[in-house]
Amino acid sequence: MTEREQLKQSYLESLMGKALPRIYDIGGFTPNGCGPMIKGGGWLARWIAWIVPDHFWGMGIPEYALEAIGDWHDFLYWWGGTARARRVADAYLYYLILESSKGHSRLTQCRLKKIARVYFSAVRLAGGLFFNYRRGTTHER
């Protein structure tokens, strides 16, 4: 694990208050970074990439924060499962962005709450295209 990956892993563990699997050491997992993953790049993917922010600039949040949160969400999507597992992954994304605002000004908390809503809406709308539904499961469960 690189120094930056260790930093991101520590950040995630501090947000959740517990030890997590060392996601950067798991073979086959490669996070795609912040923001939406555009595979094929249809009009919907391009629109979401335009509307979803990929930074927390000007809010006093470390630059690796959103990247770490996105990596955790990517890991949960890569791990996959049922539609319920996807809902849990999307809820974690929302929750972790809100958690990152704790200890900051009310203005920053308000801005991050809006960003969390945008991200949550985007992954609920288009995330199913990228979720690893396990064999024998469907998007309907």
- Residues 115, 53 contacting (CB under 8 angstroms): yes
What predicted TM-score, i.e. pTM, was given to this entire model? 0.79
Strand pairing partners for 81? 133
Is residue 27, in this structure, part of any structural domain at all?
Answer: no
- Residues 77, 132 contacting (CB under 8 angstroms): yes
Is residue 138, in this structure, part of any structural domain at all?
Answer: no
Is residue 25, in this structure, part of any structural domain at all?
Answer: no
Is residue 22, in this structure, part of any structural domain at all?
Answer: no
Each of the 141 residues of the chain gets a pLDDT tens digit; together they read: 899 999 999 999 999 999 998 998 988 888 875 555 555 556 766 666 666 655 665 667 777 888 899 889 989 988 888 888 999 999 999 999 899 888 889 998 998 898 889 889 888 887 887 788 875 555 444
- Residues 63, 70 contacting (CB under 8 angstroms): no
Domain residues for the domain of 74 are 39-129
Q: How remote is the C-alpha of 70 from its chain's centroid?
A: 3
Q: How many domains does the chain have?
A: 1
